[in-house]
Amino acid sequence: MGFIEQAAAIVGSAQVLTGSDIARYVDDPTGAYHSAPLCVVRPGSTREVSDLMALAYGMGQVVVPVSGNTGVSGGTFNEGAVMLSVERMNAVREVNASARTATVEAGVILDRLRDAADDAGLVFPVVFGARGSAMVGGILSTNAGGSNVLRYGNTRAQCLGIEVVLADGRVMDLMTALHKDNSGYDLRDLMIGAEGTLGIITAAVMKLSPKPAHTVTAMLAPVSLDAALTVLNRLQAASGGAVEACEYMPRSYIERQLAQIAGAREPFDAPHEVNVLVELAGDAGLSELFEDVLGAALEEGLIADAVIAQNDTQRAAMWERRESAAEVTLATTPALMGDIALPVDRLSDFFAAMRDRLSKIEPKAQETCVAHLGDGNIHYVAYSEANDPDLKIRLSEAMEGLVADMRGSFSAEHGVGLYKLGSMERHKNPVALDVMRSIKTALDPKGILNPGKVIPA
């Protein structure tokens, strides 16, 4: 029997999809990667994942794990592979309010985890636009970021333990709720961010945080990015680090959002070049503190305008402006789609230098971005009408070279997948790449787990 017939004996024939039944799995959100998998298998337990991987390992069959399939870097693209979907493994096994943990399976959708935490009077702080479809396995496999990294850190910082099925079907049980564990190599962190190239995450113990009593959300119009950072630092100092999000949207993004999103509105009565969404969470005295800092910033000329949300509806509208970024930026196919990280004090320098480089490479190109201002993560996008297959490479090299000069990273939170393989080859430390290849070979000697991703050949 072939893989499909033997897989059906493990998970049931209804959970092995072929033909037209796999249509919803084969395209990524960008439309740039269209897969042609052998089949999609949907195990319902760790044991079934283990049996499927043992089968695949024995046959030398390539397996590509998939969760919510919300990634934009081609991480699930494949030709002739088995796509292993964790969507049926979607149980919230336990929420322990005393320990502030949630034990969940890899197919739990992010919003469901956040709701489970909320029901316990706690919060799971990872949040981004695709939270209604992204799954725990995927956000761990890409070490997803989002808007609250400034206060809470990336997904890696929210994970205490994981369960992973290795390439040969063995199950590595690291499902502890410990905050300290120095018993050898940190294999948990090795698996987080590996994009399914080293193992398949099937469950995790996630850390929950106290729910803030009060939230203040506002749109600010700083006179410059440097002024925005000054205001951010003042808010952090005055509030004791209570700033949860600080999101930058330039005028070019606002104009695209107004043109492409039905019902979108200007953030202020007059247009501004720098638009920042800021949110603080803490005790009830936060509003007065916030207004004091903003009042001083207005008097000093650091900000030109500010609008504070007065209710949940206004807050939601502010966040909708930012969280529609994927729809806004992908409405037209970008010639360059960057996901970079820089020291926060170099952001203004980057935009000025990149604008100059862009004009020299493609004078008619247009640029826009959104950015997690507080952690220096910029989603830089450039558009061009020129049908030049080499343009993407030239633009990427220009951006990456600038980022390298500023001691930044060409990959911040979207994963490497296929999209950034060239960047890895050009800019990742060669010794680091050799170590990564050695780890891959040790854990997946047959190269069957999501091959061709993350590590350049």
Q: Are 67 and 141 in contact (CB under 8 A)?
A: yes
Task: Give residue-wise pLDDT tens across range 353-376.
Answer: 999 999 999 999 999 999 999 999
Q: Tens digits of per-residue pLDDT, 165-204? A: 999 999 999 999 999 999 999 999 999 999 999 999 999 9
Beta bridge pairs of residue 377: 341, 372
Domain 332-413+425-431: CATH architecture, name and number where available: 2-Layer Sandwich (3.30)
Q: How confident is the model at residue 158 (pLDDT cuts 50, 70, 90)?
A: very high
| Strands 274-282 vs 214-222: parallel, antiparallel or unpaired | antiparallel
Q: What percent of the chain has pLDDT over 70?
A: 100
Residue type, 447: G
Task: Tell me the per-residue pLDDT of 66-110, one tens digit each, with 9 for 90 and over.
Answer: 999 988 899 999 999 999 999 999 999 999 999 999 999 999 999
Same fold, 214-325 and 332-413+425-431: yes
Task: Please report the pLDDT score of residue 362 as a whole number.
Answer: 92
Query: Which listed CATH number (3.40.50.2300, 3.10.450.350, 3.30.465.10, 3.40.50.150) goes with 92-210?
Result: 3.30.465.10
Where do the structural domains in the chain lie, given as residue ranges? Answer: 3-85, 92-210, 214-325, 332-413+425-431
Mean pLDDT within 128-147? 93
Q: How far is CA 428 from CA 187, 354, 378, 454, in A?
A: 22, 21, 19, 11
In the sheet with 101-105, reading across from the earlier edge strand, the strands are 92-96, 101-105, 200-207, 159-165, 171-174
Considering the entire predicted model, what is its pTM?
A: 0.92
Q: Which helix (H) or strand (E) holds 203?
A: strand 200-207
Mean pLDDT for the chain overall: 95
The tokens describing 14, both together, are 């209804």
The whole-number pLDDT of residue 283 equals 87
CB 107 within 8 A of CB 67: yes
pLDDT at 198: 98
pLDDT tens string 259-291: 999 999 999 999 999 999 999 999 888 999 999
The pLDDT assigned to 285 comes to 86
Q: Is domain 3-85 annotated with CATH 3.30.43.10?
A: yes
CATH of domain 214-325: 3.30.70.2190
Predicted local distance difference test score (pLDDT) of residue 20: 94
pLDDT tens column, 17-48: 999 999 999 998 888 889 999 999 999 999 99
Q: Measuring CA to CA, how many Å separate 267 from each of 108, 253, 275, 315, 413?
A: 34, 12, 8, 12, 27
